[in-house]
Amino acid sequence: MADGNKETYWAAEDGIIHNEILIKLPEVTKINRFMAQEYYPLGQRIKVFTLEAKTGNGWELIAEGTTVGVKRILRFADVETDEIKFSITDAKASPTLFSLGVYNAPKLLIEPILNRSKSGLVELSIPESNMDIYYTLDGSEPNENSQKYASPFEILEPTLLKAISFDPSNSTKSEMLEVSLNIAKAKWKVVHNDPNAEKAIDEDSSTFWKSTDNEIVVDLGEVLTIKGFNYLPPQNRYMSGVISKYSFHTSTDGKNWTEQEIGDFSNIRNNPIEQSIPLRTPVNAQFIKLKSLQTSDNQSAAFGEVGVISID
């Protein structure tokens, strides 16, 4: 596992699944990455594993996973150790490995990642440890003197959020994240008897809803001034039901409708990103209807996420 030769490998005894591999370093070293590679000509075998490091507090779990395959790189917080234990706890057959590696990788300073729940709770994160996030809500550019992110917080009204990642060890900062957050969907409901319809407004891009009547009607819970609407197609592998031609309607009572826009989502099949369509004139409405006039594969319309634009 340490000779650099891809044709040599370690194999557990036949019939033995549970194995522990102990790696001893020449001295206490800071690490934050671990790499493992199975001997793939014999197939992918490892199903569950753990990684521990010996510290002043004894053996501490620093990472775990379910598969290794051709190459698995584990990312974890900096830890200082001179002993590492890689434990295979379940496998399809006696496991094999041809390479292991331990690294202290430089910090990857990228802009923060934003997630927002339907209730309006905003969470900011970065993949690296020992870094800070600073943000502003007033349009100014954030720096290390701005509000420091500590835990999720609510944004219910239209707000411009700007955020950066900051490495205090060398005072460097990432590119800036800038997101125009519209009104929270906490009061919204899909007017349909299918409970799965709520997936179209759950602020989760990994879920979607297919409408048998090729439209979605949403009660916004209150009258809002609407300047446009958003449509996110399903983000799964097959993307069935992507709307290519649409009409958008608004209503104050859910009974009398006015068509506001009709058009095409240009090239959406090849570029399935969120579509933002401005209205010619802002309108007040409590109900919106997005109707599919045509899908890219002639299947029932699918809605990954639907929203309204209530800010410029």
Contact yes or no for 120/63 (Cβ under 8 A) = no
pLDDT value at residue 103: 93
Contact yes or no for 143/149 (Cβ under 8 A) = no
Q: Where are the domains of the chain?
A: 10-103, 113-181, 189-309
pLDDT value at residue 312: 57
Class for the domain spanning 113-181: mainly beta
Pairing outcome for strands 46-55 and 153-154? unpaired
Q: Where are the beta strands (DSSP E) in 92-182?
A: 96-97, 99-103, 113-116, 121-125, 132-136, 147-148, 153-154, 159-167, 172-173, 177-181
Question: What whole-number distance in Å separates Cα of residue 146 and Cα of residue 132?
Answer: 11
Question: What whole-number distance in Å separates Cα of residue 133 and Cα of residue 15?
Answer: 49
pTM for this predicted structure: 0.69
Contact yes or no for 129/169 (Cβ under 8 A) = no
Question: What whole-number distance in Å separates Cα of residue 231 and Cα of residue 245?
Answer: 12
Task: From first to last of the 312 residues of the chain, give the pLDDT tens digit.
Answer: 888 888 899 999 999 999 999 999 999 999 999 999 999 888 899 999 999 999 999 999 999 998 999 999 998 888 999 999 999 999 999 999 999 999 998 877 899 999 999 999 999 999 887 899 999 999 999 999 999 999 999 999 999 999 999 999 889 999 999 999 999 999 999 999 999 999 999 999 999 999 999 999 999 999 999 999 999 999 987 789 999 999 999 999 999 999 999 999 988 988 899 999 999 999 999 999 999 999 999 999 999 999 999 875
Which residue in the block uniquely carries the two structure tokens 């409590």?
A: 286
Residues 6+ apart with CB under 8 A from 229: 248, 261, 276, 277, 279, 288, 290, 306, 307, 308, 309
Question: What whole-number distance in Å separates Cα of residue 302 and Cα of residue 209?
Answer: 6
Which residue in the block uniquely carries the two structure tokens 């929203």?
A: 307
Q: What is the CATH number of domain 10-103?
A: 2.60.120.260
From first CA to last CA, the distance across the chain in angstroms is 57
Confirm whether 10-103 and 189-309 share one CATH topology. Answer: yes
Its CATH architecture, for the domain 189-309, is Sandwich (2.60)
Smallest Cα–Cα separation from 274: which of 214, 230, 211?
230
